[in-house]
Each structure stands twice: as structure tokens, then as C-alpha cells.
Structure 1
């Protein structure tokens, strides 16, 4: 219990410190250097806690308007949450589907070849290339795949979701593939094959159960990859997500609320993936 409280306090202070950076750093035009005003930190922390204690999330600047954060954060939070939920769960599902359950088919080899090419390209370049390709498709066919308008609805949801899922899929598929071939060489797998058990049964009841712990262990890294892409995508595609509060302000209140919201989104996504694993095992795997 004490350890958990310590971790919560450390995370709280770390997020507030990151949010306070724009207010602590000043440009010294005379000496052409950066001045760090750490003495402002207690005052900044106090102002944030004081605002929260009043039952308000504070305000942020939107153009020439001053708006209350609690009025806008709901829609932005759920937009980012939907992109993350769909993107990460899709990445996990695709990696398992191609990496284990249909790994013997030729389609998986083609899929693996494509992912190997994409893995050599930085995520930012992949995102830019995907946007250029979407524009080319629109010019050639008239089919609109994406939109840079914040009120575009589904167009600002499904395409960003695909882009968010790319990095986690690249990472997870390689992990699952390596673990699949390692597990396939174990003696108990060879024994199951020798007994005439079907390949699907072996994949479900033996291979999957041994690969799943490795995926769970890497979930935090997978979600962090998706979060990194989410920051880029919401910014360059003008998606009205939670990162708007982080990018469009240099005040601690909106930045801190945005970072805390991102942490909550990560926790929800992590829990959702673990829940999917639990339901899948209860429905298909014999213990």
C-alpha cells in the first residue's frame, strides 16, 4: 500500500514538473541562453492544486477566447480514447491472428514482408506518406479517406486509428512471430504433433498460452508507442483530441490536465487489452 502511494505521488509530481517546464524556462536575450527558474515550482504547484480544490479544472486559451477546460475536455478525451482503444486492440488482434493462428498460410509471409519494409521506416515518415497516399487516392477516385477539419466526424477517427495502430503492430507482430517459432521447437509441441493433434488445437491450447505472457509483459511499451504516434497524428491532422490541451498552451493547468488525461487513457487501454485476453482464454482456451 505504501509503495503504491509513493508511486502515485512520484507520478503526480513528475507530470506537474513536465507541465511546468514552459513557465520555468525563460529566454535570456542578452546572454542568448536559457534561464531555469526552479524557484517558481512551489508556486506553480500550489496554483494548480488550489484550482483543483475549488472544483474547477481551470481555463485555457483557444484563439482569442478564454474557455473553461471542463467544457471541452469531455469530447476531446473520448476522441483520443476511441482512437487508442481501437488502435491498440487492433494491433494486438492482428499480431496474434497473423503471428499464430494463420502463420502457416502464404498470406502471412506476404504480411511479414510488408511489415519488415515498414519497420525500417520511421513512424513519422510512415504517417506523412500515408497522408500523401490518402490525398492521391482522393484526387484519383474522389473518395475522401481523411480530413484535416476538426469537425469531420468519422474521417477524423478511423484514419488516425489506422495510423496509431501501425507502430504497435510492427512491434508486436515481430515479437509474436519470434516467440511462435521458439515455442514451436519445444518438445511438448513436437509431442502434440506426433500424437496427431490438429494444428489449430496446438496453436490455441499450447502455443497461445505460452506466447500470451510475453505480450502482456510488453503491453506498456506497446501503449507508449501508440501514445507517441497519437501526439503526432492529432497535431498534424488537426484532430480535436486530448493533446490539444498540451500543444496549444504554455500554462500548467491545461498541459497538466492533458497529461493526466493521457495517463488515464493509457490505463483504460491497458485494462481493455487485459480484459480481452481474459475473455478470450475463458471462451477458447482450456486450462
Structure 2
């Protein structure tokens, strides 16, 4: 199936999934007397259709933060840019580190370093974040030097570097293992042997013969990489208390006025846009990298 046809089907399906997923807290609720789960189809349908009827008059883009009502469009800009900063940095830096470190692991015998990479890859995302925070606290306690802020407690001292490190480590770790495996397989191909027989240098063979043939595998795995980055973004923004899109959803989904379906849908749609932009950035980076090492 052509990619255009795939997008025509996949994108509406994802958007529909967002609307249905966001309505689950309305559909599923607990009976206060029996404590059992009940399905409120009528309430869910009303919430679902109410969003579309409120688009024209702007009600679907209003939400409560505390007791005050705000416009989603007035708030989304700074939150989106903050999330975009981490997604784009994680995408480019994680991919670059993953590719070149993966090449190094494929051609070297650094077994202990591979062991560290495999160990980090076995840890859940939130454990990696907590270990980074614990390490900074431990260093501060022993030396009195606070290397990085471990969480954003106020707007004057936001946590920037540690969330950035956490965002880069996980996709870079995934990319290192993927590239190392593909590079190891590529270096065993016959055309690599022919290049060696012609007397070409080792680095030339790796970067101008093997790497261009590894890049298509990386491009084919980009959606999984973006899924890792976006899932990591939820965890990083929550644990570091950073004002990104996920925190906009987390802090305002439920308020004194009840469950706010509109802000959840709008926030998740903003995540979808961010996913598309992040994917395009990494594709552009890989395209440029391919041009650099094109024979």
C-alpha cells in the first residue's frame, strides 16, 4: 500500500483512538453504593458529541485550572515549545550518539561497555530517571555540589539538564543496540569483503560502504524510536515537574469541576502534532547524514 494511502487511513484512526481513549473516564465509573464498575454509554456519547458542537463557539478550547477558566490556545504555546525542545534534542542527539556509538560497539571489543548499555536497556524508563535524580542527590550530599536541579520547584530554577540527559539516554541506548546489531551483520556482507580486497581503509569501508546500508534499517525503525521518545517524555515531565504538554494534561484533566474531556483531547492531539514534527526532524537528520556519507 502506498505511504499516502497508509497515512490517509492511519492518521484518522489515531485521532479517533484519541477521542475514544479520552472518554474512558466518563464511560467507566464506579457505583458509589456497590463499588462495582458501570458503563455510562449515554454520558460518554454526550461528552464525545459535545466536543464537536463546542468547536464553533470555542467552548471545546476552554478549561479550568483551579477555579479560573482559561483558553487552551493561550496556554499551549509555552507547554508545546518546552516539550518540543526535549523531543527534538532527544531525537537528534539520541540518534547521533546511537549511530556512532553503535558503530564503535560493532567494530570494537568493549565488552564491559556493551554490558552497561544492555543493563541500562533492561531498566524501565522511570527507574533510569530516579537513578539519575538519586545520583545527583548523593553527589550533593557527599560534596556539597549540586550539579543539576533534580526537579522544577519554581520558574526561576527549572530543571533543564537532568531531564535532557534522561530524554537522550533512553533513545540513544535503544539506537546503540540496534545500530551495533545491523552494523555487525552488514560488515559480514560480500561487498564489504570485496572492498577490503581492493585495499580500502577501514574507516572508509565503515562510513562509506557499511553505514549507507545501515541507515535504511534505522529509518524503518523510526516509529518505534519516536514511540520510545514520546513515552519517555510523559515520565520525564511528570517526575521532573516540567511544564510540558503531559503536565498540562496531568494537572488539569481533573479539577473541581470534574473530568475535563476537552483538555485531555486537545493535549493528546498536541502530542500527535509533536510526534509528527519530531519524526520529520529525525528523518531530515538521517537524510543529511546519508548525503554526507554517500559515495
- TM above 0.5, yes or no, is yes
Give the 3 Å change call, closer, same or farther, for CA 147–59 of structure 1 in structure 2: farther
1:37 to 36, 40, 53: 40
Cα shift at 1:235: 1.1
- Unmatched tracts of structure 1, length 5 or more: none
Q: Which moved more, 1:187-196 or 1:120-129?
A: 120-129
Work out whether residues 147 and 155 of structure 1, in 8 Å CA contact, stay in contact via their aligned partners in 2: no
Secondary structure of 1:52's partner?
Answer: coil
CA distance in 1, matches of 2:95, 2:230: 15
Residue 106 of structure 2 contacts residue 184 of structure 2 at CA under 8 Å; is this kept in 1? no
Bigger drift between 134-143 and 172-181 goes to 134-143
Say if 1:56 and 1:70, in contact at 8 Å, map to a contact too.
no
In the alignment, the residues of structure 2 paired with residue 185 and residue 165 of structure 1 have an alpha-carbon distance, to the nearest angstrom, of 30
Secondary structure of 1:234's match? helix
Instruction: For residues 166-190 of structure 1, give each alpha carbon's deviation from its aligned partner in whole angstroms, at most 9, with x where no partner exists.
Output: 2222222111111111111111101
Question: For 1:155-213, what per-residue CA distance to the aligned partner results, in whole angstroms no more than 9, with x for missing partners?
Answer: 53332121122222222211111111111111110111121111121112211111111
Q: Which residue of 1 aligns with 2:29?
A: 26
Question: What is residue 61 of structure 1 aligned with on the other side?
Answer: 64
Instruction: Write the distance in 2 (CA, Å) between the matches of 1:96 and 1:227.
Output: 20
Cα shift readout 1:17-66 (whole Å, capped 9, x = no counterpart): 11111222221122221112122333222221223333565222323333
Structure 1 position 244, deviation (Å): 1.9
| Number of the residue aligned with 2:244 | 241
State the secondary structure of the residue aligned to 1:200: helix
Q: Does 1:82 align with 2:91?
A: no
Stretch moving more, 42-51 or 208-217: 42-51
When the two chains are superposed, the root-mean-square deviation of aligned CA atoms in Å is: 2.2
Matched, 1:114 2:116: yes
Identify the residue that residue 215 of structure 1 maps to in structure 2: 218
Return the alpha-carbon distance in structure 1 between the equivalents of residues 278 and 94 of structure 2. Answer: 12
Contact 1:24 1:41 in 2 (8 A): yes
What's the offset of the Cα at 1:232? 1.2
Greater Cα shift, 8-17 or 271-280: 8-17
Q: Residue 127 of structure 2 aligns with which residue?
A: 125
Instruction: Compute the TM-score of the two structures, normalised by the length of structure 2.
Output: 0.88
User: Does 2:271 match 1:262?
Assistant: yes
Aligned to 1:277: 286
Gaps of 5+ in 2: 254-258
The separation in 2 between residues aligned to 1:178 and 1:56, in whole angstroms, is 51
For 1:282 and 1:269, how far apart are their aligned partners in 2?
Answer: 20
- 1:124-273 equivalences in 2 (<5 Å): 124-139=126-141, 140-149=143-152, 151-152=154-155, 155-248=158-251, 249=253, 250-273=259-282
Moved more, 40-49 or 151-160: 151-160
TM-score, normalised with respect to structure 1 = 0.90
Identify the range of structure 1 (208-217 vs 136-145) with the bigger mean alpha-carbon deviation: 136-145
Question: Number of aligned pairs?
Answer: 285
Distance 2:291 2:209 in 1: 15
CA 1:122–1:266 in structure 2 vs 1: closer, same or farther (change >3 Å)? Answer: same
Q: Is the contact between residue 138 and residue 145 of structure 1 (CA under 8 Å) also seen in structure 2? A: no
C-alpha separation in 1, matches of 2:63 and 2:167:
27
